[in-house]
A = this chain, B = another copy of it.
Amino acid sequence: MAQGRRNGTPAYQRIQGAILKRIEAGQLKPGDAVSSERELARIHGVSLMTARHALATLESEGLVERRRGAGTFVAPPKIHFNKLMSFTEQMASRGLPACSKILSSSILDDEPDIAARLALPSASRLIRIERTRQAADEPFALETAYLSAEQFPGLTRAGLERGSLFSALQQDYGVVLAHADEEIDATAADPKSAELLNVARGAPLLRIRQLIFSITGKPTIYMLGLYRSDRHTLLIRRFR
């Protein structure tokens, strides 16, 4: 029979799909045993190597754990460390009410450094959006985002008040964000930031400069964030 593709999808992907469906439906919970290689091979009418391949790649994606002699088990809930989330998503995931206020939204045409980071010609027109972020009526962050004015015409007036910048890019411009490289350090609050964040001048702030890439690999947003360190800590997980 050769490829057991009934519909163009490789057999091992169909098997993975069947398992993922049961996990998403809640029939399989973390720690539960998944069908064994031999069982999957029998059920789906494939060879052992194919069933094995399905489980092996699910393991490398962190969805299941395999223990020799014991079986294959649904992996513990994935922890959302190091996830690229919009502010709105972050707050929602913590169950906190969030709001943000746009301080300014303008078009610049002489920011060669930032244009370069976005891989644009030096004199490109850029949208700059300055926002404060607050939770529980207290501002805790100041974020300035830069995007290509050419790529996102009309963004300045778009529905940034009602939703997140991330979802606006996706819904209005079809741009899906994939990952961000961030540079993190500490800095002292300058007078303007101090006032906006309601802290003393010179107070330590966490500074995060991030370059956010779309799934096509194109640098899309450059964002500078200043965070009150008494209201915000960054959690990351790193691996060997």
**Residues of A participating in the B interface, judged by any CB pair closer than 8 Å:** 49, 57, 60, 81-84, 177-188, 202-207, 227, 229, 232-240
Contact = CB atoms under 8 A, between A and B. Distances in A.
A229 to B, nearest CB: 4
Given A49-B49, A204-B204, A205-B204, A240 B185 contact: no
Contact of A177 (B179, B188, B235, B240): B240
Contacts of A206: 184-186, 206
A233 B81 contact: no
Given A60-B60, A204-B204, A184 B234 contact: yes
A178 B233 contact: no
Contacts of A180: 237-238
Copies in the complex: 2
A235 B185 contact: no
Contact of A181 (B181, B202, B227, B237): B237
A187 B199 CA distance: 13
Contacts of A202: 202
A69 B49 CA distance: 23
A185 B238 contact: no
Contacts of A49: 49
A113 to B, nearest CB: 17
B238 A83 contact: yes
A240 B183 contact: no
B239 A83 contact: yes
A237 to B, nearest CB: 5
20 contacts: A60-B60, A82-B82, A82-B238, A82-B239, A84-B238, A179-B239, A182-B237, A183-B235, A184-B206, A184-B233, A186-B187, A186-B205, A186-B207, A186-B227, A186-B229, A187-B204, A187-B229, A188-B203, A207-B229, A236-B238
A235 B205 contact: no
Contacts of A233: 183-185
